């Protein structure tokens, strides 16, 4: 059984929750959040299982990137992972494309109010948005992979945790219900919440804004749900071009089959029908 696992994201699939709430509570597990793979120390036979977890290993959702950058980053990460730990295994989460894009766009909008939906979506190449391609890239390097779905954490968390813990070879934590209630990396969902988040960030020196972003977003999200105010939440419902929407729908359906084969589960009910 593998002693080292690489959790490579994706972004917006509860990666931070796994890093902070779940993995550290597994028995005899050490969690390392880093993209600097050349510096990791491989565990000895009698040392804890190592989980290296960083969403940046699979790419970026920045609005400053160029199309193709996420795919190139995943390719590079896989090569380094295979070199430094050839007998490791991979964990990766996926999410229905439109939901994933909306969540990523909402996060970036909190920092950059000038970016439009159209501009943001255009920053991803067709390869960047193909979950099937990402699976293919991982499978070409690693025979041992655990793909999962963000939707599982919402609908069937106990089944997901059971499958994941069996894959890692650890018993599930006893306080799962409590852990599931601890939300990580919330993003403000109202214009007011995003405005306040950006205002807080403007008070921070540029060199420290990356670390302060999470706190500013938490404040904005808290204001969204404040009991003393009722800010209207905008849906930010991304409208995809028909050809892209169709292509992503096909990719999602194929990915569900592929993930189901790895997991010996049927995820077909998550394949939403396309609207006319």
pLDDT tens column, 56-103: 999 999 999 999 999 999 999 999 999 999 999 999 999 999 999 999
State residue 39's pLDDT score: 83
Is 15 domain-assigned?
A: yes
Which range marks the domain in which residue 205 is found?
Answer: 191-224
Looking at the structure, do residues 9 and 139 belong to the same domain, yes or no?
A: yes
Rounded (5°) CA angle 177-190-22: 25
Together in a domain, 74 and 204: no
Give the pLDDT confidence score for residue 229 in this predicted structure. 45
What pLDDT shows up at residue 234?
52
Q: Check which CATH number belongs to the domain holding 146 and give it.
A: 3.40.50.300
Q: What does the pLDDT read at residue 230?
A: 43
Same domain, 37 and 143: yes
Q: Is 144 in the same domain as 250?
A: yes
Residue 126 in any domain: the answer is: yes
Whether residues 8 and 125 share a domain: the answer is: yes
- Positions in the chain short of pLDDT 50: 192, 222, 227-233, 276
Question: Would you say residue 65 lies in a domain?
Answer: yes
Residues 203 and 245 in one domain: no
Q: Which two tokens stand for residue 266?
A: 């049927």
Residues 169, 199: one domain? no
69 lies in some domain: yes
275 is a domain residue: no
Q: Assess if residue 236 is contained within a domain.
A: no
Q: Is the peptide bond before 10 cis (omega within 30 degrees of 0)?
A: yes
Whole-number Å distance between alpha carbons of 20 and 31: 9
pLDDT of residue 193: 56
Structural domain count of the chain: 2
Q: Which residues contact 44 (CB under 8 A, 6 or more apart)?
A: none
Residue 229 within a domain: no
- DSSP SS3 for 52: strand
Judge if 108 and 202 occupy the same domain: no
């Amino acid at each position: 059984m593998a002693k080292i696992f690489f959790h490579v994201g994706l972004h917006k699939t509860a990666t931070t929750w796994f890093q902070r709430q779940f993995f550290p509570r597994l028995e005899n597990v050490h969690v390392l959040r880093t993209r600097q793979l050349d510096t990791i120390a491989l565990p000895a036979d009698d040392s804890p299982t190592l989980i290296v977890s960083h969403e940046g290993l699979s790419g970026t959702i920045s609005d400053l990137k160029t199309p193709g950058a996420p795919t190139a980053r995943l390719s590079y990460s896989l090569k380094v992972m295979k070199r430094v730990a050839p007998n490791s295994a991979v964990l990766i989460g996926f999410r229905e494309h439109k939901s994933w894009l909306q969540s990523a766009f909402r996060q970036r909008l909190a920092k950059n109010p000038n970016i439009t939906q159209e501009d943001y979506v255009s920053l991803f190449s067709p390869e960047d948005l193909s979950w099937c391609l990402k699976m293919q890239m991982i499978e070409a390097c690693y025979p041992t992979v655990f793909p999962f779905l963000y939707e599982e954490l919402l609908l069937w968390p106990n089944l997901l945790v059971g499958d994941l813990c069996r894959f890692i070879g650890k018993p599930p934590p006893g306080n799962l219900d409590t852990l599931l209630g601890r939300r990580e990396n919330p993003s403000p969902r109202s214009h007011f919440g995003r405005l306040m988040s950006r205002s807080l960030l403007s008070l921070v020196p540029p060199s420290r804004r990356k670390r302060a972003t999470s706190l500013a977003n938490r404040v904005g999200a808290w204001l969204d749900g404040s009991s003393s105010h009722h800010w209207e939440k905008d849906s930010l419902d991304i409208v995809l071009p028909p050809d892209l929407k169709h292509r992503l729908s096909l990719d999602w359906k194929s990915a569900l089959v592929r993930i189901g084969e790895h997991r010996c589960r049927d995820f077909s009910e998550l394949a939403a029908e396309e609207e006319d």
